Structure 1
Amino acid sequence: MRYRYWTSTGLLCLSMMAGYAQKVDQHSIIPVDTALHTGQLPNGFTYYIRKNTVPAKRVIFYLVNKVGSILEDDDQQGLAHFMEHMNFNGTRHFPQNELVDYLQKAGVRFGADLNATTSFDETVYQLPIPTSDPKMVSRGLDIMRDWAQEALLETDAIDKERGVIIEEKRLRIGLGERIQQKTFPLIVNNSKYASRSPIGIDSILLHFPAATIRRFFHDWYRPNLQAIIVVGDIDVNQVEQQIRKQFADLKNPPNERPRPDYAIELTGKNQFLQVTDPEIGGTGLELSIKHRVNKMNTTTDYLNMVKRSLFNQLLVTRIGELIQQPNPPFLDVNAGIKSLMNGLEQFSFSVSSKPGKLKEAFSIGWSEVEKVKRFGFTSTELERAKVAYLQGLEKTAREIDKMPSSNFVNEYMAMFLKGSPSPGFNWEYNFLKTVVPDITLEDLKDVANKYITNTNRDIFVIGNENDKNTLPDSSVIETWFNSVASSSMEKYKDNVTDQVLLNHLPVPGKVISQKKYSTLGIRQFTLSNGVNVWMKPTTYKNDVVQMMSFAPGGYNKYSNEEYPTAASASGIIAGSGVADLSPLQLSKVLNGKSASVNAFISGKSQGIGGASSLKDLETALQLVYLRYTAPRKDTILFENAMAQSREQIINHYKDPGNVFKDTVGAVISGYDYRSSPGTLARLDSISLEKAYDIYRDRFADASQANFVFVGNFDVDSIKPLLEQYLGALPSLNRKEKSVVIHKQIPEGKLERKVYTGKDNKATVLLVYHGDCQYSPENKVQLQALSDILQYRLLTSLRENAGEVYTPSVKANMVKEPDARFAINVSFGCAPEHVDHLIGLVEEDIKNLQQKGATADEVQKFKVGFQKQYELQIESNEFWMQFIAGQIENKEGLKELPNIEKQLGKVNGASIKAASKNYLSGKNLMHFIALPEKN
């Protein structure tokens, strides 16, 4: 479960229904998608149902309540969120904690799948379940019905949950929360929202009488404030009948309290605040110009939304060009129109500066905004933006029948909560194809004039506590604005390029051999230059081709002296463009195309990763060729990147979390030089010329490269393109081998306590590790042990002790460079509870070692693992990683792992043995972060 300070609804999501509609009137009411089945029961309960078969045999249930922290009485602060927790701690059909237990046995993971969220104005519960068993759909509706109005709210359960809520709140203690406590009242103009943080206040959370939360539940959990959303592989009519049967008897309370619509009034005034804190690194300015949102009802409203989208797209591109300037005074600049909360949107602007350069940084960034307001955009900029916008629309159209059910939910939630439209993709497609070409430069200038105004403006100057006396006040900031407004400036000149990616085609190679792996549906080509290509045609996406390559080498081949440059080489050089094209020019050349390719250099290999549409596969392959053969270096971009990195290093340890993280990393790696955090000395050793030479060297020989292609393509059809571009890659036949660096991981038991930060919280990380016998079967046993230990810790640390919000257990087993395993147990807690909680972890481990796992625990793991595997293998990403992993590990392309056989070996006894092996404590590291001592 989680809470949000506020929700931001961005641009209207494209609904997902293929097809074509008649041309629409630009001033008509936006229709409702005919694929969406919606209705309302006599008691006011609303439902939204849609059939969607991606993923197959799955359905998502959402219970949406127009109930949040804004409705709390003064003595109920935090109880909207507390109520969300209580719906998992005892309902009519699932008393105590039986709900989580029941769903885990059905393959639904707590936290990852089963979850809920509470905000100011709404509380939402989510439940994805399998539909292969029809009874599960009915059971899912039972759970929704229980959440709607059947919470037991037993006093003992309430008291046990108090500690869990406090620990969830503790996790949020830190710099971000402190900044928000200062800025949020201004953002909401000191409305009621300022005093209704969803997480609440300690004095109430710890001591409220049970009757107080029962009153909140009785008042607000009622059908006329609730809706159910059901999207998935279901029978719509059958689900509707079940909803009408199961939810019709929900009761609204007699003499019900009216549900107020709390507004954030716009005052017409400007507000200013300096925000300082010892943990803030650097100096920045944030601006928000607030506006009232017009409800989207008509096609004119929709068109205005599209204009704002194009405006943002163009402004982001303009702002992005500023980084091309030599030695800019800023580190980052951002601007655009965004949603805020509760009927408000904002034009936001932010800039972070180099030390002592805030005025100059602001002036350059805001001058770009002023230039847009004064002169607008150019016709060539607008045309590129339209092309890109419509290209994205066409891309969505091609994937319409592959959209997962989760993509629909936010739109239907907005429909219920905010009255937003949901017209369906067929309507949107035709509307946008009609109106986007007619949007003018004057339209976008009108957007700028509407949103970039001088009233309802909040400005926050943010800096470190030590710089408090040097930060500008509101009068100084006002002079900065006036200076930019009164300055003369030239219109923006768009440097249009007529360049192409390749002026001449390279000399192609040939396929000299090929092989089929029929059981896996994979084909392999060997090209004349030695390149091997592995191809897996799929239909998981209609028009996506994903690719990657890897070859032995990497930056491990370089000395420690060269390591900083070698490890940075791919980022420096690949980030500089290709051939004669800067990143800006490259983006213009690629505008309207769906093709992206980048390069990487890792410790033991180098290669590329990318994706494209089938139509633009040739463009992607041209990019691959250029990444190998025509790298580009850019002195300005390099120096700017180094300046940013320098400030990051200087401010790194102002964040207490970095102190702990770096300590953990240093100890686990045996204080390995290459695993240690960056320093100014290492940064200064990085050379652009050396990075360029290293990059060229790493990509000078493709003779050992393996390329993997996965997607919706015909192998024989793309063969000529592979020969033309991959076959033309340079081949030196160097027969390289990866350099394996063996880290000296400390053995035995050790403990490190790190005292960092002022906040009253602790972080615990227990690392069980050692050598192992690597095998797929052992990996499954290790994963089973990890998951089962997490079940137990969730019970002992959270449910029973109430001293932890969410304990985490993560396991990993690797084959290279050495066969090793690690199990990481981590949690946050109060400093005074550290020893007690570590003791509880040790008790759970000891119990596993003595008695093994229970049948229920084994069942939960098996079903959950199986369900996740079924979803994973139906994706291009799975096949990319599987093929690449098998080849790189030299394990061969055999059949997929026999998961059922592997799971069949998991039982109580095997977990007992695994716990003795992997959790023996022979090699155990304790890391504990505690507040700084006074």
Structure 2
Amino acid sequence: MKIQNTKLLLLILLSILSSASFAQYKLTDPVPLDPTVKTGTLPNGLRYYIRKNPKPEKKVELRLALNAGSVQENDNQRGLAHFMEHMGFNGSKHFPKNELVDFLQKTGVDFGADLNAYTSFDETVYILSLPTDEPGMLEKGFTVLEDWAFNNLLDKDEVEKERGVVLEESRLSKGSWERMSRQYFPKLLNGSKYAERLPIGKDTVLKTFSYATLKDFYTKWYRPNLMAVIVVGDIDPAQAEKDIIAHFGKAKNPANAPARAALTPIKPRTAPEAIVLTDEEATNTTVQIYNYVKPATPVKTWADYRNGIIEGLVSSLIGQRLSELAQKENPPFIFGGTSFQQFIRGYSTLSSFAVIGQGTAQEAINALMAETNRARQFGFLESELNRTKSSLLNGAEKAFNEKDKSESGQIIFQYVNNFLQGTATPGVENRYKFLQQVLPTITLAEVNAVAKKMPGTENAFAMIQAPAKMKDKLPDNAGLLSALVAANKQAVTAYQEKAVATKLLDKEPVPGKILSETVNEKLGTTDITFENGVTVTLKPTTHKNDEIMMDAWRWGGFGKFALADKENAENAAILVNQMGIADMTPTDLRKFMAGKTAFVSPYINDNEEGIEGRSSVKDLETFFQLTYLYLTQPRKDVALFKSFVTKQKAQLEFVKQNPESFFSDTVSKIAYNNNPWAPGIPSPEDYDKISLDKSFAIYNELFSNAYGMHFTFVGKLDGAEVKPLLLKYIASLPAKPKDVSFKDNGVRLTAGPRTINIQRGKESQSFINLMFEGPIEDTREAKMQLNALVEAINIKITEKLREEMSGIYGGGLYGQVVKRPYLHYTVSANIPCGPENVGKLTDSLYALIKHVQEKGLEQKDLDKVKETWKKQYRVGVQNNNYWLSALSNSWINKEDPENILTFEQKVDALTLEDIQAAAKKFLPLDKAVKAVLYPESVKIPDEPKKAF
């Protein structure tokens, strides 16, 4: 009797476990919303999403999502949805004029990073990241959102000033892409309203719209029943909900407001179409094939979700095969893809694309269609599917492991999409558990059935975009259609693959020994020196549950090789990354790594060589094995080398047709006196100088001897587990004493004052570039003074050149201290603008710099920089990447790593006198090199004489 009861209990337990594992999610049930988020709808229709999330601490992400965009515009409003987004920063009830940006900068908010917005066809989203370490800041944030939603003053003077800013943004969008897109959008979108509603709008409307027209758009569409407030961060959800009700509950919807259509009609295509477009400034040749554009099936139930997973598996499987094709010696394309995907809100497509190299359009189309037809006719292999499932589940598992350590800025977008697009948002736990349950039930037959039903090209839209010089090598519209038909009829055979390796190493290395080990209690780091001369810093953290990061480097680099070997040395690590390790090709390695999270990449800079990567906890030994093999057994492959050269040459053939690329490259040559080691864009001919044997030999010369290499590891490190792996794979690396040094090749900016004028481009676009370079003290204080100066002047550039003069959309200064190959600083000012404004904007920038040199900054501007830096630091120290960068750079630059701990004190010590002195020292206008890009249609004005 006792035995019978035990069996019964066991049967009941197995039944419960089976139910929990395989019937937890019924396919007929609706997909729930992420249970970690609190949602609600106010009586006026406004939706809200609130989620408490502790990463990063004392910070909150806020979004105001408006379910209206450029497709809601009337003909006389084209561009005004986007214009209204701009006006959100130019005067509201609680923040008149430009007080919003000023107020937020004082709290440490970085304009452009923490404070921003975007407008698309169907939506407008406002973005605000706020610190919550001060009382009342969250409530202030809701005041900002409320003003964006309902309290825009639409000050007429501000509207007029903002015209220039938006027109400058429109100017930036012009070029080959914009010219070609205006030709193909009406055909691709089959005459729908989308084709006439690019969010940037029309310049004629932006220049002439009336105040009443703008206000009409705002009144009709900025209303609570089209809005959602999304809050994710280190907050009290109950208080956030009260604040939302207080700030948004009283808003009313306008009477007789127009309905917001759920779907903007796009007519189905009833016959195939094709278009071939060329442009003088296009930089590459692409082919795109849209097999269909149709209304997407809403994902409401778990069955719908499962169907989406199957389509995703099919897309991934085809993508992997196309990736293999791109590695051929003479690849049909540089890279390509085929996938099921969202086309535009409410519509889906099966589309293919390829960037064509030195092959023909027909070859690229043949390759794309062959893989689609191969999948249709023969399906996939069980081995392929199993690997793809494993990778999918691995990604979901990693997200699940990090569910309490994911940063708010990464989380919030899913709730924005749920509101705007109805995207299924079950949360990482539901998604992971559902994948665990459902992936084993998805059969190869099901996947192949979906592949088999992929539509052909009967109603497809095909397009080629290419440089004008390629026109004679391309078909016309009718020829492209014929090419598509021919490609769809070609015979294909079933896909075959060789057996996948089951291990990386044939022979395990003999562990090395520790020479010394010290602990830094302040930093929480351990420094280890091995007998082979390799050193390691370990920094265990709890910032992530399943992340380990590595960077390892030493002095050296490609700059120390002879000029004749520059290209060989510069590309040595890039080539090895393309060719694999040991006897495994990149394709073999990808297949072996399916279901694993480990990535390693060697690199060679001008003055350093190293290796970097990241890993999950469970795949840490695989990660170490990859590192060991890249340093000891790089793989040489003639076919992959030729493929690399072919693709690089094709990508570079027309890159300088882009006016800004041509400008940048030409200025670098002139400003650095044609020094062959100066930065610049390589030419296709440079790749003819590479010898596989020589490049491979250089790689081995640099990496086969690990002496002097310093490894920094940061993340979820367990010393008991990590040390044996370090001994086995790092301490065992071949190493013997060698010179680890870099070489100074004399790259110096030519002395100013000097002006370089360059003409290039069809559009009315100019670009101002000022360059400063010189000596600097090797002190922490000097570096901070330089960076603070740059940040403070950028605040003034926004205020003066953008907001007051309406002369730019974006632009500013960038500065850095460079320690190798010699100690110096560089500062460059980059200002895109209209050619008619070059003179006055340059004068204004010079005047601004002179003002700081002669009279200094205002304290409020320096305070903004300080507060922003301190807030960024407090977030940064909660991030593994910050610690990796700080510790690794401290070692390579021979600086005290404990400087990390005193950053805020050093920031507080900065004074106005420091910045004024820095302006005089680092921005000598009488030594500046000025370069200006003018369009080809403009006569370059005479250079005025400057009094400095």
TM-score by length of 1: 0.95
2:254 corresponds to which residue? 253
Residue pair 1:291, 1:451 contacting (<8 A) in 2 also: no
State how far apart, in whole Å, the 2-side matches of 1:499 and 1:369 are. Answer: 29
1:697 to 701, 721, 724: 701
Opposite residue 93 of structure 2, the aligned amino acid is R
Residue pair 2:607, 2:820 contacting (<8 A) in 1 also: no
2:59 corresponds to which residue? 58
2:857 to 831, 853, 856: 853
Q: CA deviation at 1:173?
A: 0.7
The within-5 A match list for 1:691-730 is 691-730=695-734
State how far apart, in whole Å, the 2-side matches of 1:314 and 1:75 are. Answer: 46
Residue pair 1:814, 1:820 contacting (<8 A) in 2 also: yes
Q: CA deviation at 1:652?
A: 2.7
Alpha carbons of structure 1 residues 659 and 241: separation in structure 2 relative to 1, 3 Å: same
Alpha carbons of structure 1 residues 285 and 717: separation in structure 2 relative to 1, 3 Å: closer
Opposite residue 497 of structure 1, the aligned amino acid is V
1:416 corresponds to which residue? 419
1:452 corresponds to which residue? 455
State how far apart, in whole Å, the 2-side matches of 1:641 and 1:579 are. Answer: 19
Q: CA deviation at 1:344?
A: 1.2
1:363 matched to 2:394: no
Alpha carbons of structure 1 residues 855 and 353: separation in structure 2 relative to 1, 3 Å: closer
State how far apart, in whole Å, the 2-side matches of 1:376 and 1:195 are. Answer: 40
Alpha carbons of structure 1 residues 275 and 680: separation in structure 2 relative to 1, 3 Å: closer
Alpha carbons of structure 1 residues 680 and 806: separation in structure 2 relative to 1, 3 Å: closer
The within-5 A match list for 1:373-388 is 373-388=376-391
State how far apart, in whole Å, the 2-side matches of 1:22 and 1:870 are. Answer: 45
1:280 matched to 2:287: no
Residue pair 1:373, 1:452 contacting (<8 A) in 2 also: no
Residue pair 2:369, 2:488 contacting (<8 A) in 1 also: no
State how far apart, in whole Å, the 2-side matches of 1:121 and 1:284 are. Answer: 27
Secondary structure of the residue aligned to 2:886 is helix
Residue pair 2:375, 2:452 contacting (<8 A) in 1 also: no
Residue pair 2:456, 2:488 contacting (<8 A) in 1 also: no
2:86 corresponds to which residue? 85
1:675-699 CA-to-partner distances (Å, cap 9, x unmatched) read 2442344322210011111111111
Residue pair 1:70, 1:121 contacting (<8 A) in 2 also: yes
Alpha carbons of structure 1 residues 156 and 546: separation in structure 2 relative to 1, 3 Å: same
1:821 matched to 2:825: yes
Alpha carbons of structure 1 residues 523 and 658: separation in structure 2 relative to 1, 3 Å: same
2:483 corresponds to which residue? 480
Q: CA deviation at 1:656?
A: 1.6
Residue pair 1:370, 1:484 contacting (<8 A) in 2 also: no
2:265 corresponds to which residue? 263
2:869 corresponds to which residue? 865
Q: Supply the RMSD in Å over aligned alpha carbons.
A: 1.9
1:501 to 500, 504, 515: 504
State how far apart, in whole Å, the 2-side matches of 1:652 and 1:267 are. Answer: 35
Residue pair 1:66, 1:121 contacting (<8 A) in 2 also: yes
1:180 corresponds to which residue? 181
2:550 to 532, 541, 547: 547
2:190 corresponds to which residue? 189
Alpha carbons of structure 1 residues 759 and 20: separation in structure 2 relative to 1, 3 Å: farther
TM-score by length of 2: 0.94
1:624 to 624, 627, 631: 627
Q: CA deviation at 1:467?
A: 4.1
Secondary structure of the residue aligned to 1:894 is helix
1:869-893 CA-to-partner distances (Å, cap 9, x unmatched) read 1111221112212222121122243
Secondary structure of the residue aligned to 1:752 is strand
1:657 corresponds to which residue? 660
1:164 matched to 2:165: yes
State how far apart, in whole Å, the 2-side matches of 1:134 and 1:23 are. Answer: 44
* Higher deviation after alignment, 752-761 or 481-490: 481-490
State how far apart, in whole Å, the 2-side matches of 1:31 and 1:365 are. Answer: 37
1:751 matched to 2:752: no
1:799 corresponds to which residue? 803
Q: CA deviation at 1:282?
A: 4.9
1:667 corresponds to which residue? 670
Alpha carbons of structure 1 residues 254 and 894: separation in structure 2 relative to 1, 3 Å: closer
Q: CA deviation at 1:62?
A: 0.6
Opposite residue 270 of structure 1, the aligned amino acid is P
Alpha carbons of structure 1 residues 138 and 920: separation in structure 2 relative to 1, 3 Å: same
Q: CA deviation at 1:212?
A: 1.2
Alpha carbons of structure 1 residues 577 and 144: separation in structure 2 relative to 1, 3 Å: same
Residue pair 1:551, 1:702 contacting (<8 A) in 2 also: no
1:103 corresponds to which residue? 104
1:278-308 CA-to-partner distances (Å, cap 9, x unmatched) read 1234544211122321111011110011111
State how far apart, in whole Å, the 2-side matches of 1:898 and 1:466 are. Answer: 57
Residue pair 2:142, 2:244 contacting (<8 A) in 1 also: yes
State how far apart, in whole Å, the 1-side matches of 2:583 and 2:359 are. Answer: 35
Secondary structure of the residue aligned to 1:324 is coil
1:317 to 320, 337, 344: 320
Structure 1: tracts of 5 or more residues without a match: 1-18
Q: CA deviation at 1:531?
A: 1.3
1:688 corresponds to which residue? 692
Alpha carbons of structure 1 residues 668 and 536: separation in structure 2 relative to 1, 3 Å: farther
1:906 corresponds to which residue? 910
Residue pair 1:33, 1:422 contacting (<8 A) in 2 also: yes
Opposite residue 627 of structure 1, the aligned amino acid is Y
1:338 matched to 2:326: no
1:401 corresponds to which residue? 404
State how far apart, in whole Å, the 2-side matches of 1:411 and 1:574 are. Answer: 34
Give % identity.
Answer: 35
1:566 corresponds to which residue? 569
* Higher deviation after alignment, 861-870 or 268-277: 268-277
Residue pair 2:326, 2:332 contacting (<8 A) in 1 also: no
Secondary structure of the residue aligned to 1:754 is strand
Alpha carbons of structure 1 residues 785 and 737: separation in structure 2 relative to 1, 3 Å: closer
Residue pair 1:49, 1:236 contacting (<8 A) in 2 also: yes
Opposite residue 733 of structure 1, the aligned amino acid is P
1:529 matched to 2:532: yes
Opposite residue 600 of structure 2, the aligned amino acid is V
State how far apart, in whole Å, the 1-side matches of 2:270 and 2:833 are. Answer: 44
Count residues with an aligned counterpart.
916
1:9 corresponds to which residue? none
State how far apart, in whole Å, the 2-side matches of 1:896 and 1:281 are. Answer: 43
Opposite residue 418 of structure 1, the aligned amino acid is Q
1:408-445 CA-to-partner distances (Å, cap 9, x unmatched) read 22221122112233222222222111111111222222
Structure 2: tracts of 5 or more residues without a match: 1-19, 939-948
* Higher deviation after alignment, 351-360 or 623-632: 351-360
State how far apart, in whole Å, the 2-side matches of 1:537 and 1:372 are. Answer: 46
State how far apart, in whole Å, the 1-side matches of 2:798 and 2:554 are. Answer: 43
Q: CA deviation at 1:904?
A: 2.6
Alpha carbons of structure 1 residues 469 and 565: separation in structure 2 relative to 1, 3 Å: closer
State how far apart, in whole Å, the 2-side matches of 1:112 and 1:895 are. Answer: 26
State how far apart, in whole Å, the 2-side matches of 1:356 and 1:317 are. Answer: 21
1:114 corresponds to which residue? 115
Opposite residue 327 of structure 2, the aligned amino acid is Q
1:610 corresponds to which residue? 613
Q: CA deviation at 1:816?
A: 2.7
State how far apart, in whole Å, the 2-side matches of 1:384 and 1:612 are. Answer: 19
Alpha carbons of structure 1 residues 473 and 239: separation in structure 2 relative to 1, 3 Å: same
1:541-589 CA-to-partner distances (Å, cap 9, x unmatched) read 1111111211333222310011111111111123211111111111222
Alpha carbons of structure 1 residues 224 and 499: separation in structure 2 relative to 1, 3 Å: closer
Alpha carbons of structure 1 residues 372 and 896: separation in structure 2 relative to 1, 3 Å: same
Q: CA deviation at 1:267?
A: 3.3
Stretches (4+) displaced over 4 A: 19-22
* Higher deviation after alignment, 652-661 or 128-137: 652-661
